[in-house]
Amino acid sequence: MTRTVVTGVGVVTPFGRGVGALWAGLCEGRTALGEPDRFRADCRRGEPVGEVPWTVPGVPPKQAYLGAALAEALSAAGLPGVPPDALFVMVGQAPASGRGDDDLADFLGPPVPPDLDARTVYLTHACASGAFGLAFARRAILAGLVDTAVVAGGTALNRYEYVSMSAVRAVSATKARPLDRSRTGISLGEGGGAVVLEREDHARARGAAADLAVAGASCRVGSGNAAASDAAVIEDCVRAALADAGAERLDYVHAHATGTPQGDREELAALDAVATALGLADLPVDSHKGATGHLLHVSCLVAVAATAVALRTGTASGTPNLTDPEPSARLRLSGVPTPLPADVPTTAAVTSFGFGGNNATLVLTRDP
């Protein structure tokens, strides 16, 4: 059976550049949410946000975050650039229009790097776009269309997406507290993400790391509600992804868990049901969104980055800002790092959901 492996990951988050900065922030239980220096939209009413602590003069933030994340992912994969025959999958709301003010430029796009224009596919699946993009790239590799695919995106704080989330009363007045009993909503963040996927034998032939696979995926649009989460739909989505992977165990979940009362409740109910079905009594479940905020279309790329390190280090990072976890008999909800199985093959699920009934789960496996 052909496998699709992750050979490179890159992120930009409110902790700064790189997977290392993200991982350190998560494991230290820090939050980068706070008062922004640059984001000045009048629709924000003092709520904390996750702002990236640097800019590139003359480059729109979204484009800068995409570029930095892509550079890190390619470097980690040992590639000098996106290979000429690779598929480039961009994720976001809609392709860049090339016109409009700065807010519109940060809402759409970002622009595709010119050398990648002809082989770019743009996927739009709300806050689950990164997960759908990875599932699409994996399918393209398994179909023999390409040996390598790069999935990438950027998101910058902007008035339009802030208004969109405010309109559905999703934004919390205080720092997001995913999985916590006192949670009141999301905090928005910004950044970028990129993941290099390759066919396993292709990666091994050039000496790239091939220990981490995207072994299964479930990405559906037709089974959910327009906005509200649904435990039964989520449970079915997770189980379908595990079945697609042929997974016989589940060691870790990096949850979508944005910090909304309804969304987290339904996701926890779904994960509890999955744990019950698998006979698990202590399944670690983390979320990064209390640390970085919700990076919307690229949030799953950040989740994959955190999950990759978790599996490789045998450590669940814990969920920053989590101090009073929802009670659960089967799920391990922790604000501090806890151990994962080490030196054995491990399996993780990454969940990702969005408006418009977008529901996705990726299954990552690692063979040490």
Nearer to another protein, 112 or 309 (CB): 112
Task: Please name the helix (run of DSSP H) or strand (run of DSSP E) that holds residue 364, with its range, or none.
Answer: strand 358-366
Sign of the torsion angle spanned by Cα atoms 295, 122, 234, 275:
negative
Nearer to another protein, 97 or 182 (CB): 97
Question: How many Å apart are CA 325 and CA 182, to the nearest integer?
Answer: 9
Closest distance to another protein from the beta carbon of 244 (Å)? 10
User: For binding to another protein (CB under 8 A), which residues are involved?
Assistant: 90, 93-95, 97, 100, 104, 107-108, 112, 120-126, 132, 135-136, 139-140, 143-145, 159-160, 163-168, 217-224, 226-227, 236, 240, 354-358
Report the phi/psi class of residue 29: left, alpha or beta, with left for phi > 0 and alpha for psi in -120 to 50.
Answer: left
Question: How many Å apart are CA 22 and CA 18, to the nearest integer?
Answer: 7
Nearer to another protein, 292 or 358 (CB): 358
Closest distance to another protein from the beta carbon of 171 (Å)? 12
Nearer to another protein, 120 or 174 (CB): 120
3-state secondary structure of 63: helix
Closest distance to another protein from the beta carbon of 129 (Å)? 9
Closest distance to another protein from the beta carbon of 175 (Å)? 22
Nearer to another protein, 23 or 162 (CB): 162
In this structure, what token pair is assigned to residue 13? 């988050």
Closest distance to another protein from the beta carbon of 166 (Å)? 8
Nearer to another protein, 50 or 133 (CB): 133
Of 241, 230, 312, whose CA–CA distance to 267 is shortest?
230
Contact 315, 356 (CB under 8 A): no
Closest distance to another protein from the beta carbon of 2 (Å)? 11
Whose tokens are 């987290």? That residue is 264
